[in-house]
Structures are given as structure tokens and as C-alpha cells.
Amino acid sequence: MMDHSLLEKKIKEKDIVALSKAITMNESSIIEDNIVIDRIIANNTHALDQSIVISISGIPGVGKSSFINVLGEFLHRKNLSIAVFSIDPSSELSQGSILGDKTRMTELSRLDHVFIRPSPSSNRLGGVGINTHNNIELAKIAGYDIILIESVGVGQSETVVKQLSDIFLLLTMPSSGDELQGIKKGIMEMADFFIIHKADGALKIAAEQSQKDIEAALHMTRTEDLENRIFRFSSVEKIGLETIWDALKNYAAALKKENKLIPRRRQQRAYWAEESYKNIILSHFIAKHKLEFDQLNAKILNGSYVKLDEILALVTND
Ligand SMILES: Nc1nc2c(ncn2[C@@H]2O[C@H](COP(=O)(O)OP(=O)(O)OP(=O)(O)O)[C@@H](O)[C@H]2O)c(=O)[nH]1
Ligand SMILES: [Mg+2]
């Protein structure tokens, strides 16, 4: 086993093997491993505010991996260091499309110093986020300039992704008609940027219409200035990436300038800390009262109805 201070040192040297190992330890079900990682993060809180975290969400097949591949390559050419995480908060069963992502990020994964990590969606604590947040903190300690998160965008999971990122980018597909392909209102309200993706070939015209539809929908619900927030793009044609990147960069710079970035990240840390201790308390409590819970279960299995009163009594008498 690697010495902890050595592991920490190697992470800070952007050693990809060390970072992978640390992430594995963070996701481990062995609490001692988690504690080591927690200490490494605690030792390096000064390094946590340097990177920009951008999440890319959208329905399956919208082209998130393809877009990340193109954007990542572009940023790499600008000498920015890139880490990519892939998460699927919508499903606890799925482990993410690991193979799919690797194949769709071929160019990116071939470049030196690019870190690509598919993140398992389920873990000991029974949810996405807690580990994922720490994984991202580790990538920040490693000093990656830009951290990209691919996440399947379905419903409630977006809240979780929002709690992980500085900038939330929603990919949509050109659609005919006004249904906006069932994009949930909540997601529309949450996204900082909209990209109508696959705006190429036969879909080019539909993309223009989609842009108008999205603009109209946003004007109804959002009060802030949405100029330079809605783009059309094709990861095949790759035209106009500079404009999109400028907009993202300026947005991040404005957040910093208006002193919004650090409070937002602190709020996110508070959110994840709360998730974390809630889970710890829950597992601890259930383990402590295993016998009583087993008895309640046995009663139900024997055909009795266990009243809420009994459960409340168990909890409040602790
Ligand atoms: N025409 C066109 N096709 C694209 C574009 N980007 C991606 N595709 C295709 O769309 C399909 C899905 O692309 P992915 O990048 O895997 O999409 P994804 O959103 O990451 O999919 P999941 O990870 O499965 O949710 C692939 O067949 C791509 O080749 C684009 O800009 N234009
Ligand atoms: Mg993908």
C-alpha cells in the first residue's frame, strides 16, 4: 500500500495513477480508505477554489461524450489541463456507459495528461454525490484547470449535478414543433448555458427553430440577461467553439468578480457535508438497532402490520 503522504504528493504532481487510486479509495467501502482521502482533502483546502467545474447534461444520445471530446481537445490546445468525470445519478443500477464514453472520447483519451474517469453511480452510502464531490475535490487538488462532468439529465438528478458544478450546461437536440422534446421545466431553470447540439446536416434548420423556442421559453421564466447563453453547435462540424468557450470563460470570470463563486462552492460543500453526515448517522443508527429492525421485519413477514408509532418509538427512544 502506498504511503499517504506519498499519495498526496503524487496527486499534486498530477500523477494520473495516484489520482485514480485516490478516487478508488474514496469510493471504497473501507472506512479507513475514506478517512485517508478525507485527510488529503482537508490538508489541501487552499487548492479547492482554482479549477472551474463544468457539468454537461442532457438526455441519452444527445452527444454529451462527443461534445466533451471536442471541447476537451480544444481546451487542451489552449494548454489547459482537463479532467473528465462521468456520472449517472438517475440510476443506481447502471454503472455508467464506461465503454461507450471511452470510445466517444477517443481523441481526448489519447492526449497526454487528460484524466478521464467514469464514476460508479452507486456506493456504500447509497447515492451518487458524496463520493463524486470528493472525487472532484481530488481533481482540484491535482490542479486540473477545467473539470468536465458528463451526466445523464433526467429529472431530479439535476439538482445533484448542480451541487457539483460551477457552470451547468444543458445539451438539447434540434426538435421540430414546440414540445422542446420534453425538457423538464426545472432543468430549463437550472441551466446556465444551453447548447442545441447536432446542429448539422438535415437538423440545421430545426436547430435554428429550437433556439428560438428555447429563447422564447426562457424569456417567460427567467429574469436575468440570457445573451450569450444559448448556442447551436455540432460536434461533427466543430464550428464556433471559440465563441462558446469565450462565453463560458466570461461567465466564470463574472461569477468570480461578483464574489459569487466562492460562496457557491461553500454552499455546495455544506450540502455534501450534510448528505455525508446524514448517511453516516443513518448507517450508524440502523447498525446499532439491527436487532429491533430485524424484529419489526419479522413481524411484517409474519403478517402483522407494523404501525408508524412503533417505528417512531424506536427512533425517539434512542
Ligand atoms: N449529427 C451529429 N451526430 C452526433 C453529434 N454528436 C454526437 N453525435 C452522435 O450521436 C450519438 C450519441 O453520441 P454520444 O456522444 O455518445 O451521446 P451521449 O449523450 O454521451 O450518450 P449517453 O452517454 O449514452 O447518454 C453518436 O452516434 C454520435 O456519433 C453531432 O454533433 N452531430
Ligand atoms: Mg456519453
Q: Which atom of ligand 1 is nearest to the CA of 66?
A: 15
Question: How do residues 142-189 score in pLDDT, each as one tens digit?
Answer: 999 999 999 876 556 677 888 999 999 999 999 855 556 566 677 788
Say what the pLDDT of residue 77 is: 96
3-state secondary structure of 36: helix
One-letter amino acid of 114: V
Ligand nearest to the CA of 202: 1
| Percentage of the chain modeled with pLDDT above 70 | 85
Task: List the beta bridge partners of residue 56.
Answer: 150, 169
| Percentage of the chain modeled with pLDDT above 90 | 60
3-state secondary structure of 115: strand
With a CB cutoff of 8 Å and minimum separation 6, the contacts of 124 are 29
Which residue has the least CA distance to atom 21 on ligand 1? 61
Confidence of residue 56 (pLDDT cuts 50, 70, 90): very high
Which residue has the least CA distance to atom 1 on ligand 1? 198
Identify whether the C-beta of residue 152 lies closer than 8 Å to the C-beta of residue 59: yes
Half-sphere exposure of 78 (CA within 13 A, CB side): 15
Quick one: residue 83, left, alpha or beta (phi over 0 = left, psi -120 to 50 = alpha)? beta
Cα–Cα distance, 72 to 148 (Å, whole number): 8
User: What residue has cell string 447498525?
Assistant: 287
With a CB cutoff of 8 Å and minimum separation 6, the contacts of 306 are 296, 299, 300
Question: How do residues 184-214 score in pLDDT, each as one tens digit?
Answer: 677 788 899 999 999 999 999 999 999 998 8
Cα–Cα distance, 31 to 313 (Å, whole number): 30
Which residue has the least CA distance to atom 13 on ligand 1? 63
Question: How do residues 270-279 score in pLDDT, each as one tens digit?
Answer: 999 998 888 8
Which residue has the least CA distance to atom 8 on ligand 1? 63
Task: List the beta bridge partners of residue 169.
Answer: 56, 193
N-term to C-term CA, the chain: 39
Q: Rounded to the nearest whole angstrom, what is the distance from the C-alpha of residue 133 to the centroid of ligand 1?
A: 26
Longest dimension (CA), the chain: 66
The pTM for the full model equals 0.89
Q: Rounded to the nearest whole angstrom, what is the distance from the C-alpha of residue 127 to the centroid of ligand 2?
A: 20
Query: Within 6 Å (CB) of ligand 1, which residues are found?
Result: 58, 60-66, 97, 100, 104, 152, 197-198, 200-201, 234-236
Half-sphere exposure of 129 (CA within 13 A, CB side): 23
CA distances from residue 97 to 105, 119, 274 in whole angstroms, order as listed: 12, 10, 29
Cα–Cα distance, 122 to 125 (Å, whole number): 8
- Helices 308-316, 290-301: crossing angle, 10 deg rounding: 170
- Closest CA relative to residue 71, chosen from 87, 58, 55, 60: 55
User: What residue has cell string 469565450?
Assistant: 246
Q: Rounded to the nearest whole angstrom, what is the distance from the C-alpha of residue 80 to the centroid of ligand 2?
A: 22
Confidence of residue 291 (pLDDT cuts 50, 70, 90): very high
